[in-house]
Amino acid sequence: MKIAAIQMVSGPDVGANLARARHWLAEAAAQGAQLAALPEYFCLMGRQDGDKLALAESDGDVQAPIQRALSEAAAELGLWLVGGTLPLRTADPARVRNACCVYAPDGRRAARYDKIHLFRYDNGREAYDEGRVLEAGSEPVTVQAGDLHMGLSVCYDLRFPELYRAMSFQPGRAPCDLFCVPAAFTYTTGQAHWELLLRARAVENQAYIVAPAQGGRHENGRRTWGHSMIVDPWGEVLGCLPEGEGLVLADVDTSRLADVRAQLPALQHRRL
């Protein structure tokens, strides 16, 4: 299956962000992608954290602008679509869930994953605390996307290998073929750790990784690392876009997966 990681430099205008996302999804489909993934916060990079609250949608509202746009794009382009993340309302009006929704080629929603690990960082010059406005999820989620068993994660989740192990070893299911990691890594942390962590998760789980990211200078002054990439189960980077809007394409080769797992059966050797 050909897959695409879409990189964006989203801003505070939801309508403009949706239009750019649709443009790149159409480009991915035109280049033969059967699965395309958008970055975290593709629909909104606000001027302040609280902007998410005003634009949050109710779960499953097919008429809500962001969810409708994702469903329609999947159906009209015939794609498996990983919709980055969008804010979904919770019982607490001061908190939203940062939700990653997957849509099938007929437009139906096939899965929803809520970001479990909430980013906090302060080096004295820049500070972030997602817990101020986000409510953490609690459950790992995988979905069957065509022939691929795909695990869902978001950005800061990448630092927690136990999440990927939990997705790979669900009772009665084969290990994941592919993990998706929509992200908005900061420039500082991304420069240090983004590629290192992606390749580690691919190697230790012997799976492909598709990692669409925010990549550039945003209207709110924040700079994100970008470097959207696709990594194979041996840790080889199949494609990378350092900065700016665009996409990365690669093939998920199930025979490559089988070869890696047969030659080095590490998944069978685990004991803990």
State the DSSP string of 221-262.
S-BB---EEEE-TTS-EEEEE-SSSEEEEEE--HHHHHHHHH
Residue 236 burial (CB count, 10 A): 12
SS (H, E, C) 130-171: HHHCECCCCCCCEEEECCEEEEECCHHHHHCHHHHHHHHCCC
Active site residues: 40, 115, 155
CATH no. for residue 44?
A: 3.60.110.10
Tokens read off for 215: 């990549």
Q: Which of 81, 73, 83 lies closest to 35 in space, CA to CA?
A: 81
pLDDT for the residue 61? 97
Count of structural domains, the chain: 1
DSSP state of 90: -
What are the tens digits of pLDDT across the range 54-99? 999 999 999 999 999 999 999 999 999 999 999 999 999 999 999 9
Query: Residue 33 is part of which domain span?
Result: 2-269
What are the tens digits of pLDDT across the range 244-272? 999 999 999 999 999 999 999 999 999 98
The model carries a pTM of 0.97
Q: Are 33 and 81 in contact (CB under 8 A)?
A: no
Q: Which of 179, 14, 4 lies closest to 87 in space, CA to CA?
A: 14
Given a cut of 90, is residue 172 above it in pLDDT?
no
> Quick one: pLDDT band at residue 209, thresholds 50, 70, 90?
very high
What are the tens digits of pLDDT across the range 120-166? 999 999 999 999 999 999 999 999 999 999 999 999 999 999 999 99
Q: Which of 215, 183, 180 lies closest to 201 in space, CA to CA?
A: 180
